[in-house]
Structures are given as C-alpha cells and as structure tokens.
C-alpha cells in the first residue's frame, strides 16, 4: 500500500472510528469526502422518514435518529448527522454516526462504510484534510493532537492556546515584519541612487535586532520541556539517608522497599505525581558508595544515569550524622536549580541547614523528615515552584522552537553579512529565515514534514 499517494487523493471518501477503542456508552464513526452523504443515505435509515420508499434529502447539521441497515439486517439504532461542505471539520462533506460504543458494533458499521465506497482513513487524515483545505494552519492541526494526548493541565492549556491561534498569530506577525524588512532591502538594492548602502544596512540592522529579540523572547525551552516531557527529579545520596522513605512519602505508596540496612535499594524506582498541572517523575536511586557487589555496582551506575537525565537533582543527607567526604563533593557539584534535603529532622541534628548552606548558599536546602506530612508539603511546594511555566507562552511545541531558533540564526547571519558585505548579500539569509517561520504555520511546507507531523496522530482524527 502506498500511503503517500493514498493520502493525497481528495476524491477519496475516508472513514474511521473516531472514538477510543474499547467499550463505551457511545462510539462515533466519521466519514469525510465527496461520497459521505451518499454512503450515509445507503446505510442509515432515519426514523422520521421510515414510511418513504425513496431516500429523502438530508438536512445539513441536523441530528437524526434512525437505524443502521445492512440490507435487511439492523446493525444498531443510532444518531447520525450530515455536515455539508464547507461547514465541517475537514471542509468536505462529513457524516458522523453515533452508535453504541462496542468494538463489534463499531467495526461492523465501519465495514459497511467501506463496502459502500469509503476507504479506511490513515492516522490524522481528517485533520490533514482540514489543513490542506485551508480550515486550520499546521500549528493548529498539531495543537489538536496535543490536546488529545495531553497528560497534564499545563499541556492541555498550551494546546488550547496553540489551537486558538496564539502560535499562528505570533508567527504570522513576525513573518510580516520580516517581509517588510525584505521589501526595504529590495528597495535599497533597486534604487542605489536614492538609498545608500549605509542607510539601507542601518535600517535593516535595527529591524533585524528587534525581530530577533521578539523571536528569542518567545522561545522558552525550559517551559516547553516541562509541559511536554514533565519534570524529572532524582533523589540521590549515600545509603540509608532516607531516599526511598521520601519517595514513598511523596507518592503516598510503598513503592520502594525501606529497611535499616544500607544498600537496600538496588534498582531505580519511579513514582509520578502531578504538581501545578505538570507531571513530576520522582526517581529513587540506589545509595551511592564504592562496592564490590556486582549487583549493587550496576545499581550505582543506574543512579548516575538517572542523575544525568534529571531536571532537578535532590541530594538527600542524613541530618543525624556528620557530612561524609563524598557528600561534601556532591554538594559542590550541585547546580543552583537543584536541592538539598536534610532528612531525619525528628532525630537530634548533627548536620544542620546552617552547615550545609555555608558550603552551598545558592542551593535550596530543606530540613525534612520522611516520617512527617508537613515535610512532604514542603518538598511539594519547592517542586511546584520549580515546575512553574509561563501562562502566556506562544511557542511550546519542540518543532516550532527548533524552527524559530533556525530563523533567529539566519537573521543573525544576515546581520553578520551586513557587517562584512553589501546589503544585497543578506537577502538569502532573510529568505531562509522566512522559510523557517513558514514551516510552523505550514504556509510553505514539504510533504515529508506533513507526513512526520500527521503520522503522530490517531486514526479517526
């Protein structure tokens, strides 16, 4: 089967089950394309027209009650609606059948659609048609998918902002500003007697710097990462400091085994919590120490790997014991965004926050006890603060950030060109920046990129 060719045939009528697989109260079958109405006429018999011998022209956008018939056999009682082009999701004729939500029922109805001339839709093909027919730009199409797959409130919010046009408006405005600069440059090249190279280059440089600032201001990679990937927090420290106890207290479950024997945790153990609408993955690790035990050594290697992948490393210290040499070294290696947990505050304190802060005054230090719920709240508050993302973000999709960064680099190249060569040499850089921006909205986009974007969609959307 040649997917590429099939996907680009607007004369095809496509059909798919639009609801999630499994059992549900209702399920929806969606049909889109030139034969959508004809297929619905063939398989659906509206109750209101039950006495008619000839098919009655259906009213658009009106929900009808009736039966799905395979010749004489009733497959289900259902609701159906026809949405004539262009007032539909794909801007084509669309029919939707709401049947009972069993897999068997839905598959039989879908088969009936296929027998009557529809072809099975590819992943994301309905939305791809909406894009190709100009109903939504590419950034909105992607937002639809993000909304469906959102696993946290912030991800949902970012998807809605993108879907309602925040991203497209911002990018189109930047593209317009860039067109103005390109036009200014063209005037400078075409009328050298009226605009000197210095004048032209000066105006262009000012405009480019402003545009670079605006684009860079919209690139917030940290927030994008938190929204899409969640925040990864790794608890590490010497054996017996109380890392597993803290993980268990944070997730409210006995995920990791806790004993008084140092070296209890051998493998990394992960727990997931939601904070401020961001998914937070907490990883408990094997206590780090020199060891001859081959199993424990593998555990320590895994701890080190988890640390490398962490957004926040949390060094857990046992407050009832003095700081070890290794711990002093780790304290030095922490980043300012990491944290130190001085655990076992219910016991007499030997290692205090004061002592630790004298070594690393820039790193947040929390005095806690895994046995106390107030401490859990303290850690949650710290993590929630760390997971905060802007509410006005216009770019969160990694693909968009990458394209904007590429555009910014081209604009910077253009400035460098202006500094060393005549203004006309900068035209190529400006066009490359324009192309990068138009990939986001899909105003200029290659088939390969579309395939990559839509292949991540689910069938039926």
Which stretches of the chain bind ligand GTP, using CB under 6 A? 239-245, 258-260, 262-265, 286-287, 343-344, 346-347, 369-371
Q: Which is nearer to ligand GTP, 10 or 263 (CB)?
A: 263
CB-CB neighbours of 217 under 10 Å: 9
Taking CB within 5 to 8 Å according to partner kind, which of ligand GTP, Mg ion, none is near residue 239? ligand GTP
* 123 DSSP assignment: B
User: Rounded to the nearest whole angstrom, what is the least distance from the CB of residue 260 to ligand GTP in the complex?
Assistant: 4
Cα-Cα-Cα-Cα dihedral of 142, 144, 146, 149, to 10°? -140
Task: Say how many residues make up the chain.
Answer: 461
CA–CA gap between residue 430 and residue 11 (Å, rounded): 38
Taking CB within 5 to 8 Å according to partner kind, which of ligand GTP, Mg ion, none is near residue 32? none
Contact, 124 vs 156, CB < 8 A?
no
Taking CB within 5 to 8 Å according to partner kind, which of ligand GTP, Mg ion, none is near residue 270? none
Q: Which is nearer to ligand GTP, 64 or 258 (CB)?
A: 258
Q: Which is nearer to Mg ion, 265 or 351 (CB)?
A: 265
Which residues are within 8 A (CB) of 304 and not within 5 positions of it... i.e. 6 or more apart?
288
Taking CB within 5 to 8 Å according to partner kind, which of ligand GTP, Mg ion, none is near residue 370? ligand GTP
- What would the two tokens of residue 199 be? 């004048």
User: Rounded to the nearest whole angstrom, what is the least distance from the CB of residue 261 to Mg ion in the complex?
Assistant: 10
Which residues are within 8 A (CB) of 172 and not within 5 positions of it... i.e. 6 or more apart?
441
Closest by Cα among 93, 62, 102 to 79: 62
Taking CB within 5 to 8 Å according to partner kind, which of Mg ion, ligand GTP, none is near residue 263? ligand GTP
- In terms of DSSP bridges, do strands 312-318 and 231-236 run parallel, antiparallel, or are they unpaired? parallel
- Residue least distant from ligand GTP (Cβ): 287
Q: Which is nearer to ligand GTP, 58 or 269 (CB)?
A: 269
User: Rounded to the nearest whole angstrom, what is the least distance from the CB of residue 258 to ligand GTP in the complex?
Assistant: 4
User: Rounded to the nearest whole angstrom, what is the least distance from the CB of residue 386 to ligand GTP in the complex?
Assistant: 22
Taking CB within 5 to 8 Å according to partner kind, which of Mg ion, ligand GTP, none is near residue 313? none
Could you give the angle at the alpha carbon of 379 between the alpha carbons of 376 and 380, nearest 5°?
85
User: Rounded to the nearest whole angstrom, what is the least distance from the CB of residue 236 to Mg ion in the complex?
Assistant: 10
3-state secondary structure (DSSP) of residue 117: coil
CA–CA gap between residue 282 and residue 91 (Å, rounded): 45
User: Rounded to the nearest whole angstrom, what is the least distance from the CB of residue 369 to ligand GTP in the complex?
Assistant: 4
Q: Which is nearer to ligand GTP, 241 or 393 (CB)?
A: 241
User: Rounded to the nearest whole angstrom, what is the least distance from the CB of residue 285 to ligand GTP in the complex?
Assistant: 8
Contact set with Mg ion (CB under 5 A): 244, 264-265
Closest by Cα among 98, 85, 109 to 37: 85
């Amino acid at each position: 089967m040649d997917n590429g060719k099939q996907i680009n045939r607007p004369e095809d009528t496509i059909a798919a089950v639009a609801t999630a697989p499994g059992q549900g109260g209702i399920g929806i079958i969606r049909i889109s394309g030139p034969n959508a109405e004809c297929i619905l006429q063939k398989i659906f018999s509206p109750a209101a027209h039950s006495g008619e011998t000839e098919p009655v022209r259906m009213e658009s956008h009106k929900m009808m009650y009736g039966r799905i018939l395979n010749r004489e056999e009733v497959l289900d009682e259902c609701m159906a609606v026809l949405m004539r082009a262009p007032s539909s999701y794909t801007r084509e004729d669309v029919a939707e059948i709401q049947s009972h939500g069993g897999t068997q029922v839905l598959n039989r109805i879908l088969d009936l659609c296929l027998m009557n001339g529809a072809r099975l839709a590819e992943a994301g093909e309905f939305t791809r048609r909406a894009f190709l027919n100009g109903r939504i730009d590419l950034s909105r199409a992607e937002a639809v998918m993000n909304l469906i797959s959102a696993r946290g409130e912030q991800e949902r919010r970012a998807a809605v902002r993108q879907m309602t046009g925040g991203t497209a408006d911002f990018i189109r405005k930047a593209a317009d500003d860039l067109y103005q600069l390109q036009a200014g440059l063209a005037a400078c090249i075409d009328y050298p007697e009226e605009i000197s190279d210095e004048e032209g280059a000066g105006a262009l440089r000012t405009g480019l710097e402003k545009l670079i600032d605006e684009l860079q201001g919209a690139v917030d990679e940290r927030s994008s990462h938190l929204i899409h990937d969640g925040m990864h927090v790794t608890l590490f420290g010497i054996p017996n400091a109380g890392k597993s106890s803290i993980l268990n207290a944070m997730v409210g479950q006995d995920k990791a085994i806790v004993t008084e024997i140092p070296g209890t945790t051998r493998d990394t153990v992960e727990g997931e919590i939601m904070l401020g609408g961001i998914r937070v993955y907490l990883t408990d690790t094997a206590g780090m120490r020199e060891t001859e035990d081959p199993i424990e050594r593998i555990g320590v290697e895994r701890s080190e790997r988890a640390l490398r992948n962490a957004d926040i490393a949390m060094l857990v210290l046992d407050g009832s014991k003095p700081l070890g040499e290794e711990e002093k070294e780790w304290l030095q290696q922490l980043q300012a965004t990491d944290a130190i947990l001085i655990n076992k505050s219910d016991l007499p304190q030997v290692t205090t926050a004061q002592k630790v802060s004298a070594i690393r005054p820039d790193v947040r230090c929390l005095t806690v006890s895994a046995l106390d719920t107030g401490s859990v709240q303290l850690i949650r508050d710290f993590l929630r603060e760390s997971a905060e993302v802007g509410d006005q973000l216009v770019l969160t999709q990694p693909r968009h950030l990458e394209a904007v960064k590429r555009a910014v680099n081209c604009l910077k190249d253009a400035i460098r060109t202006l500094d060393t060569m005549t203004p006309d040499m900068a035209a190529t850089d400006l066009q490359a920046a324009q192309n990068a921006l138009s990939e986001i909205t899909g105003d200029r986009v290659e088939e390969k990129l579309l395939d990559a974007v839509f292949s991540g969609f689910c069938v039926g959307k």
